[in-house]
Structure 1
Amino acid sequence: MPWWFFRRHSRNTARTATSALPSPGWQPGEIALPRLQGPRRYLQEQPYLLPKDLGEVNRLDFQHYILRAILHGNYLAPIQQPRRILDVGCGTGQWAFELAQQFPQAEVVGLDLELVKASASPPPNYRFVQGDILHGLPFDNDSFDFVHQRLLFLAIPQAAWPAAVQELARVTAPGGWVELVEASIAPKDLTPSGPVTQRLFALGGQLAALRGIDSEGVVARSLNYYLSETGLVNIERRQIEVPVGEWGGRLGSLMALNFREGAKALSAPIAHRFARTEQEVATDIEEMLQEFNRYHTKYSYIIAYGQKAY
């Protein structure tokens, strides 16, 4: 089934049919995915922009600890004692492992395109399921008390977001919660920022747009709208501004390192696509780090959560 198709389900019936409908506003064949060139391992048949390799595994784990520090925990939704938890786009599984340890009575499921980091001793109440939100989730209606999805703005095409969030709501049990954590690749969402930083982010945004990915920050600003359109209630939205650069202390330094590694992951595709040398891109990345301190740059994360009505 093409990745721009979604299976749609009623709230009262489990998954049985194989029929599909295009997500709202999405035209099949609209995006021909350009090949992502470079020494890193990229998924060529998926819109996902970042690599899937050991280097990205390390960055994702590093990013997890940054986000946990920013949020002062692993989630903001007022969950109590969930019986089943789902992490969509679980990446390395670190978030799900920690939830499994926090809620040993719960079954915790991590779903992703592939298992990117095998663990010798995962929590006994954790299991991995291979799947793709763009093909629909392989779970029955009302299956989970807490559904979590984080930083897939570089993986889900902008036009597919409403149907993707509808799918998250479908598998959430009455009284359960859905939480989304997202950010943006738009230069205007990294402020104030210098000219080299703006240029790098603009090139990354152009590369994202070629794959149907939001390059203007629309997704992050629309999270509460997506949740409300599914019928969820008690919706809350928070925007957390974080310093980037050594000027912002330990957290700012960690954020700058995260941005550096993310930019390096895209340096070869950017160089190839926009007729630049990788050395030119590398020089820009180092200048970007200096600009973070010169301009006292900040970056925002958006967190939105809502509850499924009983």
Structure 2
Amino acid sequence: MPWWFFRRRSRGSLSAAHVADLAQPSSGWLPGEVALPRLQGSRRYLQEQPYLLPKDLGEVNRLDFQHYALRAALRGNYLAPIEQPRRILDVGCGTGQWAFELAHQFPQAEVVGLDLEQVKPSASPPPNYRFVQGDVLKGLPFDNDSFDFVHQRFLVLAIPQAAWQAAVQELARITAPGGWIELVEAGTALQDFLPSGPATQEFHTLSAQLLALRGLDAEGLVMRSLAHYLEEAGFVNVRYQPFDVPLGEWGGRLGSLLALDMREARKAVSAPVAARFARSEQAVLQLIEQAYQEWNQFRTQFHFAVAYGQKPLTR
């Protein structure tokens, strides 16, 4: 994508080098042309999409950084008891890092990454990986019963709350009998950041209103309904595992990683928040920095969950 879409990196933000330090092995990226974006402030956002976060170099770095932090929190890339899948799909693959690692882990499998656009074309993708452009809200471009393992992570800021049941039904349609779906989602309610200080509470109040205006989940209902969605789709052996992870240096290396990721995610939406509530972006960024400091002071924990289930062999 053209370099002028990229925000100049501020002190303390995630850099490509910072992200690469966490990757074993590291994979490079090359800029590629994408659809004409909508600019708001210094960040690049997609047009005609409910997706709240930007699509630019800063977000590419954050998503890779987030991947390594989540891998540390989960102690792996997935929880579902998959064995030797033949075809794997990552819906909303972002930078493709999760899919690349699954492609290396299962070299006999075809691994497909699907997203609205390819944000980080790789100079040397695994030979068994391919990218497909698509949108789960418009139906997935795959036949019924196509994949043995379907993975979807952190799309609560992309899929409207009212569309979640149908979206999981679509994931179920393309899952092969005996195959697995795994959903990983973050909490979006204030109760998912406890204990919390005044800056954390104020930013949550603003962001929750912005989420609600876009039809996105502002109350943490999606995360708490993951198992229900899978059961409604007819899946069996459904498991739901919540996680409470530390935010801040008080939680050691993992807490430091997750706090940095969380701060950068909030900075990524500072321009839309500022524009919606008639505040300066600098004031919003200061509020985010205050919240970041509070997480150590209050020993805040962040709540997310993983749910997985199996498609019956006969329906």
TM-score category by the smaller chain? 0.7 to 0.9
Distance, in Å, in 2 between the alignment partners of 1:245 and 1:72 is 19
Answering whether residue 83 of structure 2 is matched by residue 80 of structure 1, we say yes
Q: 1:250 corresponds to which residue?
A: 253
Q: Is the 8 Å Cα contact of residues 149 and 181 (structure 1) preserved in structure 2?
A: yes
Q: 1:15 corresponds to which residue?
A: none
Residue identity opposite 2:249 in structure 1: E
Distance, in Å, in 1 between the alignment partners of 2:39 and 2:222 is 23
Q: 1:159 corresponds to which residue?
A: 162
Answering whether residue 50 of structure 2 is matched by residue 37 of structure 1, we say no
Residue identity opposite 1:173 in structure 2: A
Aligned length: 276
Task: Provide, for residues 239-293 of structure 1, a one-character-per-residue CA deviation record: whole Å limited to 9, x for no partner.
Answer: 0110001111111111111111111101111111101111211111111111101
Answering whether residue 224 of structure 2 is matched by residue 221 of structure 1, we say yes
Among the aligned pairs, what percent are the same residue? 73
Distance, in Å, in 2 between the alignment partners of 1:38 and 1:202 is 22
Residue identity opposite 1:256 in structure 2: A
Task: Provide, for residues 157-200 of structure 1, a one-character-per-residue CA deviation record: whole Å limited to 9, x for no partner.
Answer: 00000000000000000000000000122222111110110111
Q: 2:26 corresponds to which residue?
A: none
Q: 2:123 corresponds to which residue?
A: 120
Larger mean Cα displacement after TM superposition, 179-188 or 68-77: 179-188
Describe the SS at the equivalent of 2:158: coil
Q: 2:241 aligns with which of 235, 238, 245?
A: 238
- Pairwise CA RMSD of aligned residues? 1.0
Answering whether residue 140 of structure 2 is matched by residue 137 of structure 1, we say yes
Describe the SS at the equivalent of 1:302: strand
Q: 1:3 corresponds to which residue?
A: none
Distance, in Å, in 2 between the alignment partners of 1:38 and 1:168 is 35
Distance, in Å, in 1 between the alignment partners of 2:130 and 2:55 is 20
Offset at residue 36 of structure 1 (A): 7.8
Offset at residue 44 of structure 1 (A): 2.5
Q: 2:56 aligns with which of 26, 44, 53?
A: 53
Describe the SS at the equivalent of 2:191: helix
Describe the SS at the equivalent of 1:41: strand
Q: 2:303 corresponds to which residue?
A: 300
Task: Provide, for residues 201-237 of structure 1, a one-character-per-residue CA deviation record: whole Å limited to 9, x for no partner.
Answer: 2211111111110000000000000000000000000
Q: 1:195 aligns with which of 192, 198, 212?
A: 198
Task: Provide, for residues 36-69 of structure 1, a one-character-per-residue CA deviation record: whole Å limited to 9, x for no partner.
Answer: 8322001120000000111000000000000100
Distance, in Å, in 1 between the alignment partners of 2:180 and 2:45 is 32
Distance, in Å, in 2 between the alignment partners of 1:173 and 1:42 is 34
Distance, in Å, in 1 between the alignment partners of 2:108 and 2:262 is 36
Residue identity opposite 1:106 in structure 2: A
TM-score by length of 2: 0.86
Q: 1:9 corresponds to which residue?
A: none
Describe the SS at the equivalent of 2:172: helix
Distance, in Å, in 2 between the alignment partners of 1:55 and 1:279 is 18
Residue identity opposite 1:149 in structure 2: Q
Distance, in Å, in 2 between the alignment partners of 1:87 and 1:108 is 8
In structure 1, stretches of 5+ residues that fail to align are: 1-34
Q: Is the 8 Å Cα contact of residues 186 and 202 (structure 1) preserved in structure 2?
A: no
Change (3 A) 1:257 1:117: same
Offset at residue 143 of structure 1 (A): 0.3
Q: Is the 8 Å Cα contact of residues 180 and 223 (structure 1) preserved in structure 2?
A: yes
Distance, in Å, in 1 between the alignment partners of 2:156 and 2:41 is 22
Q: 2:31 corresponds to which residue?
A: none
Structure 1 segments of 4 or more deviating over 4 A?
none
Distance, in Å, in 1 between the alignment partners of 2:263 and 2:68 is 16
Larger mean Cα displacement after TM superposition, 246-255 or 222-231: 246-255
